[in-house]
Structure 1
């Protein structure tokens, strides 16, 4: 909870307290100082929040079914092994709420994922407490700048048509990882170097994702959509989602991993009251 509301607060941490002050016979004998500590830089907090907004706003996010009408929110799903614990931690510019579901003595819970029971409890509660509040986005710090990036995600002067956000301070300190240089510059011997490209070290070049990892990522995305179904979902839409999930799970070669994904499909079927198999 504290880590998430610190992100929501632009990187500033304030010790939680239910007491603001204590008065005795008209005299204040205690007043909460509400000391503020900077834990993250405003730029780091904003960039992390921007990433976590995608968990909910993106159609492929694990919390894509937890959008709050009229509000901008960020969050993170969490599920422990064998679905013994489920978390959803989410926040807006107004409130931060964390929900945990599970047993005091851990045991497996059918269809328990961060986006199911915890996510829907979070959504119902946050929707209620945001009623009547104007839509508000997270405040962008002045130290955030947008730069054109290359295929590695590094800032470049070439027009690639793709941009990303960076901390101005990091760029000024040379921590931006710039690879391409699209300008004439003087070398130490006085000669000019034009359109110079610095080749990164081999271990800096991202390696292609292996097929098994790609298959599991595709299966996770399909299951996130599947787990957002409700008993009110149309049969046509439900069948299409189930079929898509099964097809993607079928591409996972590891038998045990594939079986665990199929168990998740069975869990959704039980929740929706669907008999038989797809």
Structure 2
């Protein structure tokens, strides 16, 4: 049995997301509308740019999820394969450049870092995926098939076509362990070595190392997997995991969720108990001053 689009869910999701963006800049919009005499033109310009940028970004992400590149562009070697990714990186670059530091690069909207990078880039990605699922109409049993363009392009591990010998498995496992232990010794740049680790008791479980590029460990993977299993168990996600096509879709959406969980889990820790070094604070303070 196929699915039909849900207009009220599309409207509600869009209202909640763009309402959140507007509320985030409520002070700037309120001052511009009701107290223009005391309004800061810089704050108003930043709020208007951020909101308009969010609308354009969500529209672009919906297009990426629902449309393929034109046939003429598909034949171009790099654009045909990485066109959407390059366009997304362009949006990210615009957001980063707009909220650049003041004295270092002449920026005037460094206070919009959280608004653009979290509110627009990160949450806009999730809102776009939700909108596409609610807009889906097709012959599949699950709305997750609306995300098939992302799932199809995401790299996957295929089943080996031949018997894998034990020695090959052993050497592969050894190589992976060497890479892992090397990553646990690469510290994050600018992080103070005196930072308090509130999750030290869970490091062995999550296979992470505090203050390194493996700080999160397998946390995002575990969280994404638990969410997908809860949705599948509650029949919110109607996928038959015994079917190869449905199983591939399930695993692909789980990878998408893991990508979202990485910044969701890292941002609170970055703004929480992970302290930067004094040299980094001095450089940024001089740049922002």
- Fold in common (TM above 0.5): no
* TM-score interval for Structure 1 and Structure 2 normalised by the shorter chain: under 0.3
* TM-score, normalised by the number of residues in structure 2: 0.21
User: Given the two structures, how large is their TM-score scaled by the length of structure 1?
Assistant: 0.22
Q: Which has the higher strand share?
A: 1
Please say which structure displays the higher CA radius of gyration: 1
